[in-house]
A and B are shown apart, each in its own frame.
Chain A
């Protein structure tokens, strides 16, 4: 069965991506396992990141901050919860209105396309996010990547890219699969999938071009869970300007989004982009950039995010993913967050919203009813601070605390414009911290206890700070990360 959609009234009005800061160095991986793992680095989510937190970070980067979308579609193959809609946590963290529809599209690479398609149909927000895990030494581990992309759809006349056509082909065959609960996926002989995919790719691409009435596309993107298909990306379909695949390797449901964002980062105005996603069939999405694109690209390009980052020791990465079970800290495990207080504190816990006294201006984090400065009661205005930077007033490295990746670092952060809060520090080693260092709030998973993920905000050094701090050699970066693992 095939379908064709053309000339959507909606286009992409804003897009943004988020890549975690950590990198697994493939040469270290290869040395550790005694295998050939190639060169370069694999983008790795930190121990406190999951598809939900990365999705939040990508969507938060949309500029200008989106007017309330009619819907939120969250796509992933690594949902943090089942039976509970993960998109609700994104909805809360983004502070979207109560009447916004939010749903997960979870399970396979095609979920990413489904999110784009759905949001494209109703002017919604599509968030594609994934943590790709594979057994140590597997291709998924080595060639996978973790990250998230967000696309806001709106009126076509305000778009940076219009949707010209979307065609699909669906086919049932065994290429990539994973049973629920299994941490690692399976792959049939790659060449079988390749043979199946090639005609489907050709078919959907041709139909999309025909439906749109355009000629050879300027840019062609081909993503797929099948590695043999991915290798064909540069040549499977002719392009006028560029032909490429996933910028990260394979990033699951986020792959199509990251590839699309990458080309939007560099495409010119009035260029066509053919996005081909070969997963359980094939989807072809044909877009045309508008003259609004060059001035409306995401602030932090995917290429730049990719070039940044710091090595994480391979054993640490294995520990984060649960492949290596290390001795836990000799402290009791934290309690699981309770449902009612978490719901009452939704604005604080998920939205990082404090309160400002309307009488004297004192900012309370968390929000309070009685002002600590002037004593005014119930005279507070909400202060969302997720987008506000701050300065480290003081900090400490806690080697005793229970942490999924000790030692825990906490900092007292004074936010620009008022407000102080003690927050855990993310993605940063003690060496990079100092009094006066600039930080920004990031949405993270503090820990998981009793099957409940404790989502809250941490602080991490701003990009500029990191650039300075990691300007040293790779050796010093490696030393930094090993310091984080230190067991004093």
Chain B
């Protein structure tokens, strides 16, 4: 796979992110307005009218660019709606970055929104085209699909299921502890490990606390040419690498696939690292915002992203390697687990944390002098998914 990359060609000069949670009083329109208003407030040199083009990511809270242009009263702007499962927000960002890098536009905005709590159901709802009723994902829920990672990982690496349970619990505990330090997170309390382990079962060994928060929220980013960045902010965030990979959904049909890895993530990470010049992610990346949709996912991702050796991530997790004061803080903002997962907004929310950390605005969870940040999404399930990886940093070059 080849991609030329756009390292340091574009920069983020403003971001906005609503709090995530059960916003019974706020519509998707409200969330879009609130996120973009925060963004413009932080980049006073720009107004909505100054932005040349918009990309809107939403899984199911609206269709077409009108979902954004209508509430923001944007007149005659190019507004593109994108959808790519749980990588939707990241996909809006990626396309917006490429639009600037191509020279087509100088100032663009990527916005992501999801209003999940109006459905009356917990968990994600599917919206499938008419079909023959045979696809397993029509019945098997996401937590069940991801729960397959846990026994497979134990079997492959000879990990005691009790130790794996402990590692999964540790992921949930860590991300809740991080979220407790984040005023915008959906869940803001430290959760005892005992509570996590005793939660009602959802699927396989996954309990309620092994699953990410279902929430409403929106987030956005203003993207300009790197050479223009300092006109809008004194501390821009530069895009080093962007990768998106869609799998052939081969694992679901291939007896050779063992449910202990996401090959799509491995490929997306390799591509993004190459673009960004990252050769040793474990030491070069200062913080990572990864797609912790379910706790075993985060364990496996540590290996797929090159943060841990194969078969060792569970140990590194238990050793605290990915805590705020660990060797590579993962999901310092609380992750999908406690910040919440409004699908279309999540990818941009991850970038928002990098933005805050690089600017020294992460409050109680501020890391010391972060140099490179990674964000990662995946959409789909083990056996077939889309995966996104970005590398961003506070400095060009």
B24 at interface, CB cutoff 8 A:
no
Residues of chain B within 8 A (CB-CB) of A228 are none
Does the CB pair A418–B131 fall under 8 Å?
no
Nearest chain B CB to A449's CB is how many angstroms away?
8
| Residue of A344, A373, A402, A412 with most chain B CB atoms under a 10 A cut-off | A412
Interface string of A354-385 (1 = CB under 8 A from B): 00000000111110000011000000000000
B211's nearest neighbour on chain A, judged by CB, is A400
A330: CB under 8 A from chain B? yes
The CA-CA distance from A50 to B148 in the complex, in Å, is 31
Does A283 sit at the interface, judged by CB under 8 A?
Answer: no
Query: In the complex, how many angstroms separate the beta carbon of A342 from the nearest chain B beta carbon?
Result: 4
- Tell me the minimal C-beta distance from A382 to chain B in angstroms: 16
A487 CB, min distance to chain B CBs, angstroms: 9
Minimum CB distance partner of B145 in chain A: A396
Known: A396-B148, A399-B201, A400-B143. A454 touches B259 (CB 8 A): no
Residues of B within 8 A of A362 (CB): 253-254
Contact of A401 with B255 in the complex, beta carbons under 8 Å: no
* Interface hits, B52-102 → A, CB 8 Å: none
Do residues A331 and B253 form an inter-chain contact, with CB atoms below 8 A? no
Given the interface pairs A400-B143, A418-B255, the reply to whether A337 lies near B133 with Cβ below 8 Å is: yes
In the complex, what distance in Å separates the CA atom of A364 from the CA atom of B252?
A: 10
Asked if A394 and B250 sit within 8 Å, CB to CB, the answer is no
Q: Is A338 an interface residue (CB 8 A)?
A: yes
B125 within 8 A of A: yes
The answer on a CB contact under 8 Å between A394 and B151 is: yes
Instruction: Determine if B246 is an interface residue (Cβ-Cβ < 8 Å).
Output: no
Task: Please indicate the chain B residues that have their CB under 8 angstroms from the CB of A400 in the complex.
Answer: 123, 141, 143-144, 202-203
Interface centre among A340, A395, A422, A446 (most CB of B within 10 A): A422
| Docked complex Cα distance between A401 and B125 (Å) | 11
Taking the closest CB of chain B, its distance from the CB of A189, in whole angstroms, is 46
Judged by a CB distance under 8 angstroms, whether A34 is at the interface is: no
Query: B387 within 8 Å of A by Cβ?
Result: no
User: Which B residues between 124 and 170 are near A, CB-CB below 8 angstroms?
Assistant: 125, 128, 130-134, 136, 138-141, 143-145, 147-148, 151-152, 155
CA distance A341 to B135 in the complex (A): 12
Q: Is the CB of A332 within 8 A of B125?
A: yes
Asked whether B252 lies within 8 Å of A422 as measured between CB atoms, the reply is: yes
Contact (Cβ within 8 A) B136 A422:
yes
Whether A421 sits at the interface, judged by CB under 8 Å, is yes
Instruction: Say if the beta carbon of A57 comes within 8 Å of chain B.
Output: no
Number of A residues whose C-beta is below 8 Å from B?
Answer: 50
A345, B132: Cβ atoms under 8 Å? yes
Distance between Cα atoms of A372 and B128 in the complex (Å): 23
For A391, the closest partner residue in chain B by CB is B255
Number of interface residues of B (CB under 8 A): 40
The reply to whether the CB of B204 lies closer than 8 angstroms to some CB of chain A is yes
Whether A331 contacts B121 by the Cβ 8 Å rule is yes
**Residues of B close to A227: CB separation below 8 A:** none
Closest to B207 in A: A488
Whether a CB of chain B sits under 8 angstroms from the CB of A348 is yes
**When each residue 192-218 of chain B gets 1 if its CB lies under 8 Å from chain A and 0 otherwise, what string results?**
000000001111100000000000000
Can you name the residue of chain A whose Cβ is closest to the Cβ of B128?
A335
Known: A330-B122, A341-B131, A366-B134. A401 touches B141 (CB 8 A): yes
In the bound assembly, the distance between CA atoms of A488 and B201 in angstroms comes to 6
Taking the nearest CB of chain A, how far is it from the CB of B204, in angstroms?
4
Q: How far is the CB of A340 from chain B (nearest CB, A)?
A: 8
Most buried by B among A397, A400, A408, A446: A400
Contact with B along A319-347 (1 / 0, CB 8 A): 00000000000111011111011101100
Q: Any chain B CB within 8 A of the CB of A265?
A: no
Chain A residues whose CB sits within 8 angstroms of the CB of B140 once the complex forms: 396, 398, 401, 408, 410, 422, 424
Alpha-carbon gap, A446 to B133, bound state (A): 9
Complex interface residues of chain B between 197 and 254 (CB less than 8 A to chain A): 200-204, 248-250, 252-254
Q: Give the Cβ gap from A248 to chain B, nearest Cβ, in Å.
A: 31
The chain B residue with its CB closest to the CB of A486 is: B201
Interface flag for A419 (CB, 8 Å) = yes
A477 at the interface (CB under 8 A from B): no
B139 contacts A393, CB within 8 Å? no
Query: What residue of chain A has the Cβ atom nearest to residue B250's Cβ?
Result: A372
Q: Which of chain B's residues has its CB closest to A339's CB?
A: B130
Complex-state Cα separation, A336 to B352, whole angstroms: 41
The reply on A296 being an interface residue by CB < 8 A is: no
- Which residues of the partner chain A approach B136 to less than 8 Å between Cβ atoms? 410, 421-424
Contact A488 B200 (CB under 8 A): yes
The one of A332, A394, A398 that contacts B203, using a Cβ cutoff of 8 Å: A398
- Whether B250 and A396, one on each chain, are in contact in the complex, defined by CB atoms closer than 8 angstroms, is no
Q: Which one of B130, B131, B134, B143 has the greatest number of beta carbons of chain A within 10 Å?
A: B134
* Contacting residues, chain B, for A414 (C-beta < 8 A): 255
- The answer to whether A331 and B123 touch (CB under 8 A), given A401-B140, A423-B136, is yes
- Whether B253 contacts A421 by the Cβ 8 Å rule is yes
Are B133 and A435 within 8 A (Cβ)?
no
Q: Is the CB of B131 within 8 A of A337?
A: yes
B-contact 0/1 string along A449-468, CB 8 Å cutoff: 00000101000000000000
**CB contact between A372 and one of B134, B203, B254, B259 (< 8 Å): that residue:** B254
Chain A residues, CB < 8 A from B259: 393-394, 412
Closest to A423 in B: B136
Contact B148 A338 (CB under 8 A): no
Of all chain B residues, which has the CB nearest A396?
B204
Identify which of residues 28-83 in chain A touch chain B, using a CB-to-CB cut-off of 8 Å.
Answer: none
User: Which residues of chain B have C-beta atoms less than 8 A from A363's C-beta?
Assistant: 253
B144 near A396 with CB under 8 A, answer yes
Q: How far is the CA of A332 from the CA of B128 in the complex (A)?
A: 13
* CB-based contact B248/A401 at 8 Å: no
Chain B residues with CB under 8 A of A332: 119, 121, 125
Cα(A365)–Cα(B122), bound, Å: 31
Chain B residue with the shortest CB-CB distance to A344: B132
Contact residues in A for B255 (Cβ distance below 8 Å) = 393, 414, 418-420
A412 lies within 8 A of B125 (CB): no
A399 and B151 CA atoms in complex are apart in Å by 17
B146 shortest CB reach to chain A, Å: 9
CA distance A394 to B138 in the complex (A): 19
Contact residues in B for A447 (Cβ distance below 8 Å):
139
Told that A396-B140, A397-B201, A420-B257 touch, could you supply 5 new A-B pairs with CB distance under 8 A?
A372-B249, A398-B139, A401-B203, A408-B140, A422-B136
A residues with a Cβ closer than 8 A to B are: 330-332, 334-338, 340-342, 344-345, 348-349, 362-366, 372-373, 393-403, 408, 410, 412, 414, 418-424, 435, 446-447, 454, 456, 488
Across the A-B interface, the 8 shortest Cβ-Cβ residue pairs? A337-B133, A338-B130, A398-B144, A422-B136, A454-B133, A396-B204, A341-B132, A414-B255
Which residues on B are within 8 Å of A, measured CB to CB? 119, 121-123, 125, 128, 130-134, 136, 138-141, 143-145, 147-148, 151-152, 155, 200-204, 248-250, 252-255, 257-259, 383
Q: List 10 A-B contacts (CB under 8 A).
A: A338-B130, A397-B144, A398-B143, A399-B203, A400-B143, A401-B144, A408-B140, A422-B136, A422-B383, A447-B139
